[in-house]
């Protein structure tokens, strides 16, 4: 009996050691994102990169956008508003998504971009002029300020869906490009991804 007990304890300790062992090493950023995607239902940096790439891919092949560029016959000046966080997560990494989108827009070479500082000043000035502090007749319209031609903006939302006993989070990014002179929408793009938390084999 004593031998059986010792054998049982020995095997238990070996099992626990194997489960609690820590292995260190280096992995690439993309591999790290892939592993993170498999074990978390939260939005991560790679999701922002994927969303930005997909949105710009849709924009570049959008017929309305190509017609707009052909008619304008020059690079439009683009006013970029930040994508707003409409999820229930107050700590959603919205800055990462905005940076990824800005990076991909810049890479297209289709636009002359207003930087964030200029965009902020533009927004504040427009709010000031249309808030009654200046004469209505001299207040500038958005498309006339700094020769802005178009504005891109949007939001990200998240919906929880029950699937097979798992709670799936469905993230949706909606982006719109608008002609500021006419107020007409030029193009609308979106990106969707579903994420869930993968449960481990051991439950404590």
Contact 169, 193 (CB under 8 A): no
Nearest to 57 by CA among 99, 107, 94: 107
- Compute the half-sphere exposure of residue 57: CA atoms within 13 Å on the CB side of its CA: 8
CA–CA dist 76, 113 (Å, integer): 9
Facing residues of 161 across strands? 168
Question: Which pLDDT score, from 0 to 100, does residue 56 have?
Answer: 97
Total domains present in the chain? 1
Question: Which pLDDT score, from 0 to 100, does residue 7 have?
Answer: 54
Task: Specify if 23 maps to a domain.
Answer: no
Question: Which pLDDT score, from 0 to 100, does residue 201 have?
Answer: 41
Task: Specify if 201 maps to a domain.
Answer: no
Question: Which pLDDT score, from 0 to 100, does residue 38 have?
Answer: 54
Contact 61, 198 (CB under 8 A): no
Question: Which pLDDT score, from 0 to 100, does residue 163 have?
Answer: 73
Contact 110, 62 (CB under 8 A): no
Across the 204 residues of the chain, what is the mean pLDDT of every consecutive 10-residue run?
A: 56 52 50 56 94 97 96 93 94 96 95 74 65 51 66 95 84 96 94 80 40
Range of the domain at 37: 31-195
Task: Specify if 96 maps to a domain.
Answer: yes
Task: Specify if 109 maps to a domain.
Answer: yes
Residue 82 is part of a domain; what is its CATH number? 3.40.50
Task: Specify if 45 maps to a domain.
Answer: yes
Task: Specify if 36 maps to a domain.
Answer: yes
Burial class of residue 153 in the structure, from the number of CB atoms within 10 Å of its CB (0-12 exposed, 13-18 middle, 19+ buried) = middle
Task: Specify if 153 maps to a domain.
Answer: yes
CA–CA dist 35, 32 (Å, integer): 5
* Three-state secondary-structure class, residue 128: helix
Question: Which pLDDT score, from 0 to 100, does residue 11 have?
Answer: 53
Question: Which pLDDT score, from 0 to 100, does residue 174 have?
Answer: 98
In this structure, the number of other CB atoms found within 10 A of the CB of residue 177 comes to 23
Task: Specify if 130 maps to a domain.
Answer: yes
């Amino acid at each position: 009996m004593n031998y059986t007990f010792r054998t049982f304890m020995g095997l238990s300790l070996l099992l626990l050691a194997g489960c609690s062992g820590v292995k260190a090493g280096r992995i690439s950023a993309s591999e790290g994102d892939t592993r993170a995607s498999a074990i978390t239902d939260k939005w991560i940096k790679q999701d922002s990169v994927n969303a930005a790439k997909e949105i710009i891919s849709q924009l570049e092949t959008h017929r309305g956008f190509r017609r707009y560029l052909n008619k304008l016959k020059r690079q439009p000046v683009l006013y970029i508003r930040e994508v707003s966080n409409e999820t229930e997560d107050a700590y959603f990494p919205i800055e990462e998504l905005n940076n990824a989108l800005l990076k991909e827009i810049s890479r297209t070479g289709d636009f002359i971009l207003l930087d964030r500082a200029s965009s902020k000043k533009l927004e504040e000035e427009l709010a000031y002029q249309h808030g009654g502090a200046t004469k209505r007749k001299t207040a500038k319209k958005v498309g006339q300020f700094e020769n802005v031609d178009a504005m891109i903006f949007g939001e990200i939302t998240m919906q929880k869906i029950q699937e097979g006993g798992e709670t799936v989070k469905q993230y949706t990014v909606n982006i719109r490009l608008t002609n500021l002179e006419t107020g007409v929408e030029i193009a609308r793009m979106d990106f969707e991804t579903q994420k869930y938390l993968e449960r481990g084999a051991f439950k404590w």
